Amino acid sequence: MSRARPGPRHSGRIELAPEAGPGSLTFESMTPADVDDVAAIEEASFPTPYTARMFHDDLRGGQPACWWVIRHDDARGDRGRAPIVAYAGYYLRRDRAHLAKIATHPAWRRRRLGEGLLLSTLLAARGQGADSVTLEVRDGNTTAQRFYVKWGFVLLRRFEGYYEDTGEDGLILAFTGLADRRTAGWLERELAGIAIVPPG
Ligand SMILES: CC(C)(COP(=O)(O)OP(=O)(O)OC[C@H]1O[C@@H](n2cnc3c(N)ncnc32)[C@H](O)[C@@H]1OP(=O)(O)O)[C@@H](O)C(=O)NCCC(=O)NCCS
């Protein structure tokens, strides 16, 4: 595998809805200082979560991975400590990215943040040369399947009993044509149209 190249940033921002008041959501690279917060969301999101150590190992460059976070800065506190509300990571091999993780903090779900993160992540992978993105999803995770299918992922393959912890089948989904300018334009327009209202 070749190491992922730091690609151009397509956009660092996901819009908050006007009624959300001042503040911002930013899409940025994950750093080691982010790992504890990410691991807490991971723990709340997956039956067999990555540990903090696994994230640290990936960030140290053991594998060609690209990890991203979304921070919510409510414009009241210290910008540097703006909490992480979602994250995603993929491994890149030539023009194929494999989305290893994507999760929204439970308090922020169903507010379109996941979509903002997914589209930002697809565009980031494109910026690093990816033309397709694959992922594995549990047969029972119908929420995630709807989420991916809504954005053009299609079923490639089913692996029976793929997940050892529950015995569930694993589905491989794929998004293709990322290198096409029209696809990128569509993703950028859709991303620009997402406006999120924070919880509470
Ligand atoms: C999957 C996940 C990332 C979606 O994040 P989110 O921020 O809640 O998603 P969004 O609000 O952007 O929803 C986008 C679309 O996903 C689908 N979706 C999201 N949550 C859903 C739910 N509870 N029920 C049904 N569909 C849902 C819908 O199609 C939704 O669009 P709609 O609101 O127009 O119907 C989030 O549920 C999560 O973190 N789950 C735990 C981790 C996980 O399973 N990750 C994927 C592993 S493969």
Confidence of residue 1 (pLDDT cuts 50, 70, 90): very low
What is the spatial order of strands in the sheet that 195-196 belongs to?
154-159, 170-175, 132-138, 96-104, 84-93, 65-73, 24-29, 13-16, 195-196
- Structurally, the chain folds into a number of domains equal to 1
Ligand 1 center–CA 110 separation, angstroms = 6
Least confident of 26-30, 40-44, 57-61, 63-67: 63-67
Q: How many alpha carbons fall within 13 Å on the CB side of residue 116?
A: 32
pLDDT of 49 reads 97
- Domain annotation covers residue 124: yes
- Domain annotation covers residue 136: no
- Domain annotation covers residue 8: no
- Chain segment 71-111, per-residue pLDDT in tens: 999 988 766 679 999 999 999 999 999 999 999 999 999 99
Counting ligand 1 atoms within 8 A of each CB, the residue from 42, 70, 84, 110 with the most, and so the one to mutate, is 110
- Chain segment 132-187, per-residue pLDDT in tens: 999 999 999 999 999 999 999 999 999 999 999 999 999 999 999 999 999 999 99
- Domain annotation covers residue 51: yes
Spatial contact of 117 and 26, defined as CB atoms under 8 Å apart: no
- Domain annotation covers residue 158: no
| The model's pTM | 0.94
Q: Where are the alpha helices (DSSP H) in 23-171?
A: 35-45, 52-59, 113-127, 142-150
Confidence of residue 4 (pLDDT cuts 50, 70, 90): very low
pLDDT of 64 reads 65
Q: What is the mean pLDDT of residues 115-125?
A: 96
Give 82's contacts (C-beta < 8 A, 6+ positions apart).
26, 71, 72, 73, 74
pLDDT of 76 reads 83
Of the candidates 46, 52, 54, 16, which has an alpha carbon nearest to the alpha carbon of residue 106?
46
Nearest CA to ligand 1 atom 25: 143
- Domain annotation covers residue 112: yes
pLDDT of 200 reads 87
- Domain annotation covers residue 119: yes
pLDDT of 167 reads 95
Which CATH number do you get for residue 56? 3.40.630.30
Per-residue 3-state assignment (H helix, E strand, C coil) for 132-184:
EEEEEEECCCHHHHHHHHHCCCEEEEEECCCCCCCCCCEEEEEECCCCCHHHH
**Structure-token pair, residue 110:** 């169903």
- Domain annotation covers residue 166: no
Query: What DSSP state is assigned to residue 196?
Result: E
> Is the minimum distance from the CB of 114 to ligand 1 under 6 angstroms?
yes
CA 44, 47, 52, 55 dihedral sign is negative
- Chain segment 9-22, per-residue pLDDT in tens: 445 899 999 999 89
Range of the domain at 102: 13-131+177-196
> Is the minimum distance from the CB of 37 to ligand 1 under 6 angstroms?
no
> Is the minimum distance from the CB of 89 to ligand 1 under 6 angstroms?
no
